[in-house]
Structure 1
Amino acid sequence: MEARAALLLGTLIRGICLGVLVCVVFTACGPGSPGVTSGSRRSTPTPSPAISAEWTEYHRDAGRSGVGPAEPALTSPVVAWRADVDGDVYASPLIVNGHVLVATENNTVYSLDLFTGEVVWQKHLGDPVDASSLPCGDIGPVTGITGTPAVDEASGRLYVVAFLRSHHHMLFALSLVNGSVLTQQDIDPVGSTPSVQQERGALAIGSGFVYVPFGGLYGDCGPYHGYVVAVPLAGGQTLAYRVPSARGAGIWTAAGPAIDASGNLYVVTGNGLSRSSFDHSNAVIELSPDLQTVKSYFAPANWAALNASDADLGALGPSLLPGAVLAVGKDGVAYMLRADQLGGIGGQLSSRALCAGAFGGTARDASSIFIPCTDGLYALSIGPNGMNPVWHDARPALASPIVSAGAVWAIEPGAGMLYALSEQTGGVLYSVGLGAAMHFSTPAATDGFVVAPAGRKVVAISVVG
């Protein structure tokens, strides 16, 4: 609680109301201004004013809802600021206590002021891995922090995994106040080969643990496996689950695990080695909070064929719905599963061909779930009549969406464009060039702002102009 108290005290010390700050930003960045370019300036490391909508994990929460505040609604959006950082940003930004938290492949974490983009603090966690030293992969010239960090608001800590030059994955807990390192520990699973394991998936916090997923490098080289590691927030023995495949079956989707209201984890695995005996590859797996029990699982009836064709079910994170779980993989087939009783092999409640292939993470509103595919973004309704497409927009493609300010926001990585779409029709309400975007880039949102990773920059959009 001491760290939390420091954050609140910093807010009181700052003593400037939210409305005044918003007016300052809009005066500097309103119509007729190209926006503020930031990144070299620094401000005193005290938090910005607390705001109502925190975005503490990938797609806001451990359930990966992807839903931000509906108000203020999108009216006349403008770029509020652009900030430079020291490496490519694959992880989603987070927004906590008026700060935008950004992690780079150079193993640097930034805290930026939400309203100005100024650097409040930055912390370099160690030299990243030279990509040329790895047997395969698609991130370079260096690879460091790839998975989205997670914030534990109660302790005022940011948890982040850095891939260090020694080819080890290190979990750091940083102070939200000033970025100081509070704890660190090597979390490579016992028996693993760290140089062929990648921590691409987002971290998740629940049941007193921070959960860290592992998969393989792009190219599936070496003796990698799918793992989830659970590190107690209060300290103590680290727990782990390994997918029982002889090789492969990585948990590599950028969305990472999703946690339900009871604390159970849902993960989706990729292709494995087996072509005969089921090895939990290409599967949705429900794990107990301590990772010691597989409570249920599902795999498509053609899981072995998916293995043979590298058509990972685990390219898209699991979508948790009331009483159900939705899974869609590289082959574009959508499976509706019963939560907590996933159905075993071929035991889905229903399925349908949906798209050309799904990757990343989903978002949902009251009536639809939004699914990123290689052939565009899909809105799918779930109801008594099954799964039915509501709309499909070819742009943006491969764009993991969120919902905020009454719109669906998504980044098309190939074009480096951020789009805002109508929730009801998919029509484009707004678009802006980011300059660049990485694989599976996804934005974050809070009251009045959407914040997008943009290659070696971060871009903030004011939704009301």
Structure 2
Amino acid sequence: MSLAVLTLAVAALDGAATASAAHHPRAARIVAGPGHPAPVFAVDWPTYHRDNTRHGTAPGLPRVGALSVAWRAPLDGAVYGQPLVIGGRVIAATEHDTVYALSVASGTVQWSTNLGSPVPLSSLPCGNIDPLGITGTPVYDPDTGRVFVVAETNGGNHDLVGVNVTTGAVEVRVPVEPPMGDPLAHQQRGALTLLGGRVYVPYGGLLGDCGSYIGSVVSVRTDGSGPVQSYAVPTTREGGIWAPAGGVVDQDRLLFAVGNGESSTAFDGSDSVLALSPELGRVDFFAPSTWADDNARDLDLGSASPTLVGPYVLTAGKRGTGYVLRHDSLGGVGGEVAQASMCRSFGGSAVDDDGTVYLPCTDGTRAIAVDAAGSPTVRWHAAVAARGSPAVGGGAVWVVDYDAGTLYALDPASGQVLAQVAVGTAPHFASPTLARQRAFVGTMAGVTAVNGA
């Protein structure tokens, strides 16, 4: 089953999981038997923003009411990736390289699995996460019953690990090093994508853009067998693929936003939106006509993932300009359908059922409408300067002010605050999970669950 088009099942996950811990030498590829399928329901959240469109919309969520904290689960490190919800379990992965299954109802730990020792900041050439372990949002595969994460371990190793969602047992562990540059200079921050029985892993650099890194995407079969496939941005350095939403699936293609490279003379494939085939060949791209200036001034387009909206793609980055592209022909350099001043955008957008895009902005969410001709209009600017990545459900737009530690529910018609609750300081670009009548937020201390969603 591909998460590009979720197949919703009708039976329930049951049974309590037991604690499990596993760490394997990475010298050998390990495939420890087949996993067991476990269904995904409409009320679940198996990947970043729920499905491979990354629209971040929760169907059937009750209308938002007064918000209150249902529970807080302190874990062994910060939760940078968006929590997943599968059946009665909240799956959270920490910067201490531990994967947890928590009870949706109570936050009680059902199992936890540690995957190794994370990289201390003192061992990195630059950066701002200490320690550096699991940063990108995991993905769940209902065909095998495995949750996949990328664990960075001491020495700068990157392993794709498949963990049984019921028991926490490690069933697959495969090295997935970026194809070019120094592995220690790469950070895996973008969400993992599951498509066609493969997991796709994007790589960018560390905060500070130090060292020899080149943006890339690596893919591996979910059973760990066969060759590792990869794509690297054709630049001499940088061009990171790090936006938190990761790859966006558009029919049979994966769209990725790319950060700035070093060239300001010859176009080097950076500062762009890429369309990659499932085999990771580049089949299309867009870059703004300002790409050289963007590269020179660190105004990369790759700070936010592209957004599918009808027949178009909306993309915006650090410059503050939003570009509308045709999804089936991205346009190459300067080939946008339209552009407009929007905001400096970091993270992942959400899209309502009516096609309104809720854009994450450094000074507060914007609601963007794209008409039939591809012309974008800013409908409203949120009343609060929450900078997190929005999600939609229950008649509200949900956004985290991660520095202040507040979750807001905004009116989708005006951007005014409907409700708010303190959840605890969260990582940059944090996005709430909306599932099973609650909101779940990964924080610097663990996970907070909120009633009223």
Q: Which residue does the alignment assign to 1:439?
A: 428
In the alignment, structure 1 residue 281 sits paired with structure 2 residue 270: yes
In the alignment, structure 1 residue 123 sits paired with structure 2 residue 123: no
453-462 or 100-109: which moved more?
Answer: 453-462
Match of 2:212 among 206, 223, 235: 223
> What SS does the aligned partner of 2:294 have?
helix
Give the Cα–Cα distance (whole angstroms) in 2 for the partners of residues 300 and 133 of structure 1: 36
**Offset, 1:13:** 5.9
**Offset, 1:78:** 2.1
- Higher helix proportion, which one? 1
In the alignment, structure 1 residue 345 sits paired with structure 2 residue 342: no
In the alignment, structure 1 residue 360 sits paired with structure 2 residue 347: yes
Indicate conservation of the 8 Å contact 1:297/1:344, yes or no. yes
Indicate conservation of the 8 Å contact 1:51/1:447, yes or no. no
5+ unaligned residues in a row in structure 2: which ranges? 2-8, 21-36
Structure-2 change in CA distance of 1:286 and 1:463 (3 Å): same
> What SS does the aligned partner of 2:365 have?
strand
In the alignment, structure 1 residue 146 sits paired with structure 2 residue 135: yes
Q: Which residue does the alignment assign to 1:232?
A: 221
Give the Cα–Cα distance (whole angstroms) in 1 for the partners of residues 272 and 293 of structure 2: 13
Give the Cα–Cα distance (whole angstroms) in 2 for the partners of residues 230 and 424 of structure 1: 40
Q: Which residue does the alignment assign to 1:201?
A: 190
Give the Cα–Cα distance (whole angstroms) in 2 for the partners of residues 8 and 79 of structure 1: 29
Q: Which residue does the alignment assign to 1:323?
A: 311
- 1:360 counterpart letter in structure 2: G
Indicate conservation of the 8 Å contact 2:118/2:133, yes or no. yes
- 1:267 counterpart letter in structure 2: F
**Offset, 1:8:** 9.5
**Offset, 1:346:** 0.4
In the alignment, structure 1 residue 167 sits paired with structure 2 residue 159: no
Match of 2:124 among 128, 134, 140: 134
In the alignment, structure 1 residue 242 sits paired with structure 2 residue 229: no
Match of 1:393 among 378, 382, 394: 382
Q: Which residue does the alignment assign to 1:31?
A: none
Give the Cα–Cα distance (whole angstroms) in 2 for the partners of residues 163 and 93 of structure 1: 18
- 2:400 counterpart letter in structure 1: I
Q: Which residue does the alignment assign to 1:429?
A: 418
Structure-2 change in CA distance of 1:323 and 1:296 (3 Å): same
**Offset, 1:384:** 3.2
**Offset, 1:404:** 1.4
- 1:306 counterpart letter in structure 2: D
Match of 1:104 among 71, 94, 98: 94
Give the Cα–Cα distance (whole angstroms) in 2 for the partners of residues 110 and 172 of structure 1: 14
Written as runs of structure 1 = structure 2, the 5 A alignment for 1:269-308 is 269-292=258-281, 294-308=282-296
**Offset, 1:376:** 0.8
Structure-2 change in CA distance of 1:63 and 1:50 (3 Å): closer
> What SS does the aligned partner of 2:360 have?
strand
Match of 2:248 among 232, 235, 258: 258
Give the Cα–Cα distance (whole angstroms) in 1 for the partners of residues 247 and 12 of structure 2: 33
**Offset, 1:332:** 1.1
| Deviation digits for residues 152-189 of structure 1 (CA, Å, limit 9, x no counterpart) | 01110000001101211111000001110001011003
| Deviation digits for residues 183-234 of structure 1 (CA, Å, limit 9, x no counterpart) | 1011003443111000011100012210000011110101100000011124
**Offset, 1:48:** 12
Match of 2:73 among 76, 83, 93: 83
Give the Cα–Cα distance (whole angstroms) in 2 for the partners of residues 314 and 118 of structure 1: 37
Identity percentage of aligned residues:
41
Structure-2 change in CA distance of 1:306 and 1:78 (3 Å): same
| Deviation digits for residues 233-281 of structure 1 (CA, Å, limit 9, x no counterpart) | 242111000000011101011111111222x110111010111111111
Give the Cα–Cα distance (whole angstroms) in 1 for the partners of residues 445 and 178 of structure 2: 31
Give the Cα–Cα distance (whole angstroms) in 2 for the partners of residues 191 and 373 of structure 1: 32
Indicate conservation of the 8 Å contact 1:48/1:99, yes or no. no
Give the Cα–Cα distance (whole angstroms) in 2 for the partners of residues 328 and 13 of structure 1: 44
- 2:283 counterpart letter in structure 1: K
Indicate conservation of the 8 Å contact 2:178/2:203, yes or no. no
**Offset, 1:52:** 3.5
**Offset, 1:413:** 1.4
In the alignment, structure 1 residue 418 sits paired with structure 2 residue 369: no
Q: Which residue does the alignment assign to 1:157?
A: 146
Match of 1:404 among 393, 404, 408: 393
Give the Cα–Cα distance (whole angstroms) in 2 for the partners of residues 9 and 193 of structure 1: 46
Give the Cα–Cα distance (whole angstroms) in 1 for the partners of residues 168 and 18 of structure 2: 14
Structure-2 change in CA distance of 1:410 and 1:193 (3 Å): same
Structure-2 change in CA distance of 1:190 and 1:351 (3 Å): closer
**Offset, 1:74:** 1.2
Give the Cα–Cα distance (whole angstroms) in 1 for the partners of residues 233 and 370 of structure 2: 30
Give the Cα–Cα distance (whole angstroms) in 2 for the partners of residues 250 and 222 of structure 1: 12
**Offset, 1:75:** 2.2
**Offset, 1:43:** 7.6
In the alignment, structure 1 residue 65 sits paired with structure 2 residue 71: no
**Offset, 1:353:** 0.6
Give the Cα–Cα distance (whole angstroms) in 1 for the partners of residues 378 and 436 of structure 2: 29
Q: Which residue does the alignment assign to 2:25?
A: none
Q: How does the TM-score come out when normalised to structure 1?
A: 0.88
> What SS does the aligned partner of 1:143 have?
coil
- 2:212 counterpart letter in structure 1: P
**Offset, 1:50:** 7.8
Indicate conservation of the 8 Å contact 2:10/2:41, yes or no. no
Give the Cα–Cα distance (whole angstroms) in 2 for the partners of residues 49 and 174 of structure 1: 16
Q: Which residue does the alignment assign to 2:364?
A: 376
Give the Cα–Cα distance (whole angstroms) in 1 for the partners of residues 425 and 77 of structure 2: 12
**Offset, 1:44:** 8.6
Structure-2 change in CA distance of 1:340 and 1:270 (3 Å): same
5+ unaligned residues in a row in structure 1: which ranges? 2-6, 15-41
Give the Cα–Cα distance (whole angstroms) in 1 for the partners of residues 226 and 184 of structure 2: 26
Q: Which residue does the alignment assign to 2:34?
A: none
